[in-house]
């Protein structure tokens, strides 16, 4: 775990202002990476010669990409072409990328509104649209899931379980009924699992019902991270970034909302020997296939658990998101924002 000396907030702000992200043209020829095909089914989604198109770079650690289509109720994303929002966690900022316009700042602070220095990862992480089209955020520093209301104000959706503060909500997904599923590892706490401010002994996967009731679904994953739903909303997928058990798993969702027995889809241990990183964020294609960030890139995993290929940067990749038409996969890869076309 990285450590850093205390820095006054003023110095952090000056450092942020001095390092502006560099924005690549949407039609740029700047590409990186490669595809690695394990099964011919991979070519139902991506070309064998697929590469990452770099849209922007110069960030600190990018996360939580979210495509906001035209018509969503997100102030600042009313473009008739849609926009892509993503978090830079150390900078405590959400950035916006718009086709033909590049990147600019969308929201800052995004995840921590306190006064004192709060570690290396204070900002927002996972982003999602709620069923009303509003922006929902996992906030590390403020240890909550919030929603950006019409007009720009924030409202807390959940910040505690049984009277104890959450660790640092990481990633989230809504179902069509408005129920919110999210993960809560300790990565946003300044001293992570050993932080004196930690109040819960577990790292949970939760469901906040549309009626406002919070259910702890499971604690068996010690480092739950990325989360997603199958197209029929009968399976909950979770990535675990624990080095001892780096896996992508699925849970059947029972009629009462509880989870059935866990099923391991794939294990990333062998891939961690090749490239840096671990299972992290994920998204689910309308076919049911998972597109999941992991060691060195994005892994294409069928609902049955077959890893049919991967898109490699050979560096750390945190998360990915599809646009509304599934024409593009957007990827947050360390200091860069990238995308790859789907077939």
Q: What is the pTM of this model?
A: 0.91
- Give the position of tokens 């989360």: 227
> What phi and psi, each to the nearest 5 degrees, are found at residue 32?
-140, 165
| Secondary structure of residue 299 in the 3-state scheme | strand
pLDDT at 24: 41
Please report whether residue 92 resides in a domain: yes
> What phi and psi, each to the nearest 5 degrees, are found at residue 238?
-135, 135
Q: What is the CATH number of the domain that holds 165?
A: 2.120.10.30
Name the domain count of the chain: 1
Please report whether residue 91 resides in a domain: yes
Q: Which domain holds residue 175?
A: 33-341
Please report whether residue 280 resides in a domain: yes
Please report whether residue 156 resides in a domain: yes
Instruction: Give the tens place of pLDDT for each residue, 98-114.
Output: 998 999 999 999 999 99
DSSP helix, strand, coil percent of the chain (3-state; round to 5): 5, 40, 50
Instruction: Give the tens place of pLDDT for each residue, 35-69.
Output: 999 999 999 999 999 999 999 999 999 999 999 99
Please report whether residue 4 resides in a domain: no
Instruction: Give the tens place of pLDDT for each residue, 155-208.
Output: 999 999 999 999 999 999 999 999 999 999 999 999 999 999 999 999 999 999
């Amino acid at each position: 775990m990285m450590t850093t000396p205390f820095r006054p907030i003023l110095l952090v702000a000056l450092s942020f202002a001095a390092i502006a992200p560099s924005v690549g043209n949407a039609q740029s020829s700047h590409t990186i990476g490669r595809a690695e095909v394990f099964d011919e089914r991979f070519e139902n989604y991506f070309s064998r010669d697929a590469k990452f198109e770099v849209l922007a770079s110069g960030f600190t650690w990018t996360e939580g990409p979210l495509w906001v289509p035209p018509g969503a109720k997100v102030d600042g994303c009313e473009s008739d072409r849609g926009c892509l929002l993503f978090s830079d966690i150390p900078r405590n900022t959400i950035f916006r990328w718009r086709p033909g316009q590049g990147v600019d700042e969308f929201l800052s602070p995004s995840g921590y509104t306190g006064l004192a220095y709060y570690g290396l990862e204070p900002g927002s992480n996972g982003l999602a649209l709620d069923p009303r089209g509003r922006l929902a955020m996992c906030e590390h520093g403020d240890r909550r899931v919030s929603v950006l209301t019409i007009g720009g104000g924030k409202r807390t959706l959940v910040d505690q379980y049984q009277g104890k503060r959450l660790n640092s909500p990481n990633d989230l997904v809504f179902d069509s009924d408005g129920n919110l599923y999210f993960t809560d590892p300790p990565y946003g706490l300044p001293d992570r699992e050993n932080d004196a401010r930690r109040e819960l002994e577990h790292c949970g996967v939760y469901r906040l019902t549309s009626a406002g009731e919070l259910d702890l679904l499971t604690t068996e994953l010690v480092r739950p991270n990325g989360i997603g739903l199958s197209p029929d909303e009968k399976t909950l997928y979770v990535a675990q970034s624990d080095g001892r058990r780096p896996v992508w798993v699925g849970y059947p969702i029972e009629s009462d909302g509880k989870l059935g027995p866990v099923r391991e889809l794939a294990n990333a241990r062998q891939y961690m020997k090749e490239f840096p990183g671990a299972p992290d964020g994920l998204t689910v294609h309308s076919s049911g296939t998972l597109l999941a960030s992991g060691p060195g890139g994005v892994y294409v995993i069928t609902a049955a658990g077959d890893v049919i290929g991967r898109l490699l940067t050979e560096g750390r990749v945190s998360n990915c998101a599809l646009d509304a038409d599934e024409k593009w996969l957007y990827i947050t890869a360390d200091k860069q924002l990238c995308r790859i076309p789907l077939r």
